[in-house]
Structure formats: structure tokens, C-alpha cells
Amino acid sequence: MPTIQQLIRASRQKLTDKSKAPALKACPQRRGICLRVYTVTPKKPNSALRKVARVRLTTTYEVTAYIPGVGHNLQEHAVVLVRGGRVKDLPGVRYHIVRGTLDTAGVKNRVQSRSKYGAKIASKTASKTASKGK
């Protein structure tokens, strides 16, 4: 606990906010190039093969980004758009790849939450068959 004299000499310092996505340099998204596309296993108690990519951003940072949705078309040297947002069960993965932009295709046959996965609206015949399956 500081004395009054110490506080007069040097006032208390305000805590500065630390960015959760420093590689984006305060931008909403950044473009990057895939260096490696691979799968990783999540932390306990979860079990899966999560799809991730090592991406070199235009800010010269190299980050690990999660590829959301079922299936993807990404390969090495693909140009992708990266946004912030961590994956809770993958340590060190603090970014997401935006589906449906640049070289990343949208998720096929997606009916709900389409805007988050870059999926176009399904044709009437496809939506009828999807509703019959319920």
C-alpha cells in the first residue's frame, strides 16, 4: 500500500487493455496466405480432428486460424480472410478464417446460420428435400 507522499509523487497507473487478437493490428479482418493446412486434436474432455491453417498475414504475423464449418477447399498458398475469435478447446488458436471470401468457399448444403458460413440460399428443390428429411 503506497503512502500519500508516494501517490503525490507518482499517481496510480491506469491498466491498459490488452488485445485478444494482436496480429490484426486493431483491424476487423486481415488478408493472409495459408502456409499449412492440417488437423489438431482438442483439449480434454473433447475429442475430434479440428481443421486449422497456419496463415501469414499482411501484418507479417504468422498465426494459427480455425476453419469453421463442415468440409473446406483450402490448400497451401490459398488467400484467406482472417478475423478474430478464439476456439475454446484449441490452445493457441485465436483467429477464425472467414468462409465464402477470397479463396475460401462457403459451406455446402447449409440451411441455418448461412451468413456465418458464406453459404448461398438453397434452391427450392434442395430445400424441399431437406425439409422432408426432418
Domain range annotation of the chain: 22-104
What per-residue confidence (pLDDT) applies to 134?
60
Banded model confidence at residue 86, pLDDT cuts 50, 70, 90:
very high
CATH code of the domain occupying 22-104: 2.40.50.140
Average pLDDT over residues 66-81: 95
Place of cell 494459427: 64
DSSP letters, 19-74, are PS-GGGTT-SEEEEEEEEEEEEPPPTT----EEEEEEEETTS-EEEEE--SS----
Q: How many CB atoms lie within 10 A of CB 95?
A: 26
Average pLDDT over residues 31-44: 96
